Chains A and B, each alone.
Chain A
Amino acid sequence: MAWDMDSDRPIYAQLVERIKMQIVSGYYPCGAKMPSVRELAAEAAVNPNTMQRAFAELERSGLILTQRTNGRTVTEDKALVEGVRHDMARSHMNTFVDRMRELGYTGDEILTLLKEVLGL
């Protein structure tokens, strides 16, 4: 199945997000071997050069390591993955809070509603 992409943002950035998500959610756990650029490009139905660019970005961030003999693996650094996970969570929360404020909710009202939804 080809990956769904937004039409208004660079494809490589969307690939980076998607793979980051797969790493922090444990689909590709710490130390796991990553598929090759070609395999993943075929799975996503995207250009291999674009997938290569996404991998380069993930290597820069340290989430993916390239070993000369062993292809690419997910980092063993659990703290790094946890940090990325936390950043992504914060970013979702910021979006959520912005939307709620657009609806005219105050901080207290947001908290009350959130507790209600979570059943706390």
Chain B
Amino acid sequence: MNELVEFLGVTKSYDSKKIAVDNVTLKLPKGKIIGLLGPNGSGKTTLIKMMNGLLVPTSGSIRINGVPVGAQTKAMVAYLPDRTYLTGNKTVSHILDYFVDFYADFSRERAEQMLANLGIDPSARMNSLSKGTKEKVQLILVMSRNADLYVLDEPIAGVDPAARDYILRTIINNYNPEATVLISTHLISDIEQVLDEVVFMRYGKLVLYTSVDNIREEKGKSVDAYFREVFAC
């Protein structure tokens, strides 16, 4: 079985008027780096939160490795949320202790190596770090797990271009043929080369699911250019 994630008729409405995710049916395979792309308010973050059990679908179901989303799937998924949750006066090193305790698949060694590569002092307190550095720490925590699925909600938006390159390289270097990385972003041109496949969403609906080289072959343009065409205002 090559499927990792299965969405079956997934719908989420916050109230009777606003449908955030509208009847999405989609299967994502193992071993791919997939971009989740769509304009603001297209339902990307809602979809991601449902994959992580933070929101419950109004109807439909989501399975990961064949298991319905729940406590069991949280051990399989490394999730980078769209906002920081690591506040307070804990040091980076202290947070690593938490992650080692909490996640059986967490590699402290890998995390420390990445911190060193990005010049982040493990003894620094979280609230002394800049916004971009906090984001880097969070991403390092996520990528240091040995998960089946990595779900990254806007991982590169807040960091400088050099760190962005490092992060993309980190994703490539940690690439494991059994694991899938789902990246939501609107900075398409920056990550296009790294993606296998893309999922386009609009108004909560699935618009397109195809490979990057398919778009380039069939449309003769980059995913970024094609996105601008499909979602032209």
Chain A residues with a Cβ under 8 A of chain B: 2, 5, 7-12, 38, 41-42, 44-50, 53
A-B residue pair count with CB separations less than 8 angstroms: 59
Question: Do the beta carbons of B172 and A8 come within 8 Å of each other?
Answer: no
8 Å CB interface, B212-228 against A: 212-213, 216-217, 220-222, 224-225
Question: Do the beta carbons of A11 and B172 come within 8 Å of each other?
Answer: no
- B interface SS class: helix
Chain B nearest CB from A47 CB (Å) reads: 5
Chain B nearest CB from A44 CB (Å) reads: 8
Chain B residues with a Cβ under 8 A of chain A: 31-33, 165, 168-169, 172-173, 175, 189, 193-196, 212-213, 216-217, 220-222, 224-225
Extra inter-chain contacts (18) besides given A42-B173, A44-B193, A50-B213, CB under 8 Å: A5-B193, A7-B221, A7-B224, A7-B225, A8-B216, A8-B221, A8-B225, A9-B220, A10-B216, A38-B172, A38-B173, A45-B172, A45-B193, A46-B193, A47-B33, A47-B195, A48-B175, A50-B196
Give the top 6 A-B pairs by smallest Cβ distance, nearest first: A7-B222, A10-B213, A10-B216, A46-B193, A10-B217, A48-B175
Question: Do the beta carbons of A49 and B217 come within 8 Å of each other?
Answer: no
Question: Do the beta carbons of A42 and B195 come within 8 Å of each other?
Answer: no
Question: Do the beta carbons of B196 and A49 come within 8 Å of each other?
Answer: yes
Interchain CB contact (< 8 A) of B172 among A5, A7, A12, A42? A42
- Across the interface, which residues of B come within 8 angstroms of A47, CB to CB? 33, 172, 193-196, 212
CA distance A47 to B211 in the complex (A): 12
Which of B33, B165, B193, B194 has the most C-beta atoms of chain A within 10 angstroms of its own C-beta? B193
- Across the interface, which residues of B come within 8 angstroms of A53, CB to CB? 213
Question: Do the beta carbons of B224 and A11 come within 8 Å of each other?
Answer: no
When C-beta atoms are compared, the residue in chain A nearest to B224 turns out to be A7
Chain B nearest CB from A111 CB (Å) reads: 34
Chain A nearest CB from B226 CB (Å) reads: 10
- Across the interface, which residues of B come within 8 angstroms of A48, CB to CB? 172, 175
